[in-house]
């Protein structure tokens, strides 16, 4: 990367590292401040406040229409916010045109230029900036080597697989040494195997280059496995931004709890002492307690439920799926409530379909939400 030209935006170049070439990298700090963007009556971003630290890989996660792609496009300069601002290293870039933003972007649909081969695609931005042909070719070769395609420089996009095209797109995005790397669902068009390998490769590159990266995805597994922090968006608002483990273990809101991973929603009763009764156990409540007390829904992860075969038990095993070290058991509880429990496979051998079982929540703090008015027969959410 030593041959890569510096950005031409006229601001001082932040110290960066190309670990692959023995330099230290810091990346840029990206801030969204009170960002609002509406498309007619649809509000895509509703006062989004979010910060990505230097060199961090921040994943934007959320359901369709939550505003994650809009946030990325605003950062890239393809959308103008109705209000709010975008800052990169403290500099307000909200009104700067897309071609002067110094942010490399990888699109979902590869978006390589069909009339150019891989080498020229990678060197496109350098050509725009009138870098000499020799330097362009050297840089393109270096980047193609970096993404594992040293021999594909002469190939046109239609002569490459989806994974190869996306690697070239990644190299193209990195060619201008952008301050920020933007990934807009870059893996969603690829098959599972390629997705997995490219996921690891992107992370490896991001860590080695130390470039601040914003990664939009609707795939929880991708977000949780790749990102330093995951920002969960819902209806244009930030629900929670936290490291993956914290997001999973300590979700800040019911939406996050139910959206990330698999969550059981079991009926419970507030006891009035900061605890809740659920499935015959009394558990401490974590987070906000709904006003008024009374019946609530308790959110418990499948690994937070224990089950053992017991003829006197009130639950019935519906199915058991062997997943390797754990077995996921689907249980029918009284009142038509269903629950999922992840048990060590060696402890689940007796839990065959039709067997009566005793269900006990693991004693740890749980989230509670107001009881749903109509309880679905299958209360457990399978989002994983």
Partner 1 sequence: MAALTPVSRPPVSGPPVSTAPVAAPVKPARRRPRYWRGAVLTVAGLYFLTPLVSSFVFTVHVPNQGVTFAAYSGILSADGFTESLFLSLSLACATIALALLLVVPALVAVRLGPPRLRAVVEIVCMLPLVVPPIALVTGIATVLRWGPDHFSRTPLYQTFLAVQNESFPVVLVLAYTVLALPFVHRSLDAGLRAVDVPTLVEAARNCGAGRLYVILRVILPNLRSSLAGASFLTLALVLGEYTVASLLGFRPFAVWIVSVSGAEARMSVAVSLLSLLITWALLLVLSRAGTGSSAAVPAAGPSTAPAATTPAASAPAASAGGPSTAPTAVPGKE
- Which residues sit at the interface with partner 1, rule CB under 8 A? 8, 76-78, 97-101, 103-105, 107, 109, 111-115, 117, 124-125, 128-129, 156, 158-159, 172-173, 175-176, 320-322
Sheet containing strand 83-88, strands side by side: 42-52, 30-39, 83-88, 91-92
Least distance (Å) from partner 1 to the CB of residue 329? 12
Least distance (Å) from partner 1 to the CB of residue 273? 43
Least distance (Å) from partner 1 to the CB of residue 115? 4
Least distance (Å) from partner 1 to the CB of residue 279? 26
Q: Residue 362: exposed, middle, or buried by beta-carbon count in 10 A (0-12, 13-18, 19+)?
A: middle
Cα distance between residue 315 and residue 356, in whole Å: 6
Q: Which is nearer to partner 1, 372 or 382 (CB)?
A: 382
Least distance (Å) from partner 1 to the CB of residue 344? 15
SS (H, E, C) 218-260: CCHHHHHHHCCEEEEEECCEEEEEECHHHHHHCCCCHHHHHHC
Q: Which is nearer to partner 1, 2 or 159 (CB)?
A: 159
Backbone angles phi, psi at 163, to 5 degrees: -65, -40
Least distance (Å) from partner 1 to the CB of residue 177? 12
Cα distance between residue 148 and residue 219, in whole Å: 25
Listed in sequence order, the residues at least 6 apart from 329 whose beta carbon sits closer than 8 Å to its beta carbon are 307, 317, 319, 320, 321, 340, 341, 342, 343, 348, 351, 357
Q: Which is nearer to partner 1, 111 or 360 (CB)?
A: 111
Cα distance between residue 341 and residue 360, in whole Å: 10
Q: Which is nearer to partner 1, 107 or 248 (CB)?
A: 107
Q: Which is nearer to partner 1, 8 or 271 (CB)?
A: 8
Q: Which is nearer to partner 1, 172 or 340 (CB)?
A: 172
């Amino acid at each position: 990367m030593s041959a890569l030209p510096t950005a031409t935006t006229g601001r001082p170049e932040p110290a960066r590292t190309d670990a692959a070439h023995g330099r230290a990298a810091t990346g840029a700090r990206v801030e969204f401040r009170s960002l609002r963007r509406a498309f007619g009556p649809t509000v895509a971003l509703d006062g989004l406040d979010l910060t990505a630290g230097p060199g961090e890989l921040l994943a934007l996660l959320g359901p369709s229409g939550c505003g994650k792609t809009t946030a990325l496009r605003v950062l890239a300069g393809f959308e103008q916010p109705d209000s709010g601002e975008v800052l990169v290293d403290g500099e307000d870039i909200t009104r700067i045109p897309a071609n002067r933003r110094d942010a490399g972007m990888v699109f979902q649909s590869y978006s390589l230029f069909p009339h150019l081969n891989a080498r020229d695609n990678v060197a496109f931005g350098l050509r725009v900036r009138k870098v000499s042909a020799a330097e362009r070719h050297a840089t393109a070769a270096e980047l193609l080597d970096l993404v594992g395609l040293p021999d594909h420089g002469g190939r046109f996009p239609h002569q490459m697989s989806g994974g190869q095209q996306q690697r070239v797109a990644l190299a193209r995005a990195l060619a201008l040494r952008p301050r920020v790397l933007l990934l807009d669902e870059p893996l969603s068009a690829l098959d599972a195997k390629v997705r997995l390998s490219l996921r690891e490769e992107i992370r490896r590159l991001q860590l080695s280059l130390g470039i601040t990266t914003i990664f939009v995805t609707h795939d929880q597994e991708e977000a949780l496995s790749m990102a330093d922090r995951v920002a969960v968006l819902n209806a244009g608002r930030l629900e929670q931004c936290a490291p993956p483990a914290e997001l999973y273990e300590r979700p800040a809101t019911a939406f996050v709890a139910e959206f990330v991973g698999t969550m059981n929603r079991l009926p419970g009763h507030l006891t009035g002492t900061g605890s809740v009764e659920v499935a015959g156990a009394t558990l401490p409540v974590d987070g906000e307690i709904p006003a008024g007390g009374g019946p609530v829904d308790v959110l418990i992860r499948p690994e937070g439920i224990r089950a053992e075969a017991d003829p006197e038990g009130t639950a019935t095993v519906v199915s058991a799926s062997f997943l390797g070290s754990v077995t996921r058991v689907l249980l029918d509880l009284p009142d038509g409530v269903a629950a999922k429990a992840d048990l060590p496979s060696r402890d689940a051998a007796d839990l065959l379909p039709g067997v009566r079982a005793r269900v006990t929540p693991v004693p740890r703090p749980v989230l509670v939400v107001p009881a749903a008015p109509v309880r679905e027969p299958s209360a457990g959410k399978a989002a994983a």
